[in-house]
Homo-oligomer: A and B are copies of this chain.
Amino acid sequence: MDEPIDHEPSDETDPVLGAYRKSIDNIDAALIHMLAERFRITQAVGRHKARNALPAADPAREERQIARLRALAEQAELDPEFGEKFLRFIIEEVIRHHAQVRDH
């Protein structure tokens, strides 16, 4: 065989890994669709804020969101640090979009 030594097993040769990957792919599809819906809403928020000359960022709201998501993450046994990092990642993207809406 000419396969490189560190070649990953395929889903066929490693059915355990294959089954895990199917679950991951299903969850990723769900995450993408939840994110799409979240962005539909934050786009509406962006338009509402631009119309009413409200600031794109709201640090007090963000702190409440982060505290709430850290608590939810702990309940779900997800690393709260990761939960916070994730929300900050999403919020940064949203603020970038809001600023674009305002500046165009």
Contact = CB atoms under 8 A, between A and B. Distances in A.
A35 interface: yes
Nearest to A32: B72
- Chain A: number of interface residues, binned into ranges: 35 or more
B34 A73 contact: no
Nearest to A42: B24
Contacts of A77: 36, 40
A63 interface: no
B73 A32 contact: yes
Interface in A1-46: 6, 8-9, 14, 16-17, 20-21, 23-25, 27-42, 44-45
Given A37-B27, A58-B8, A45 B17 contact: yes
A40 B65 CA distance: 23
A38 B33 CA distance: 15
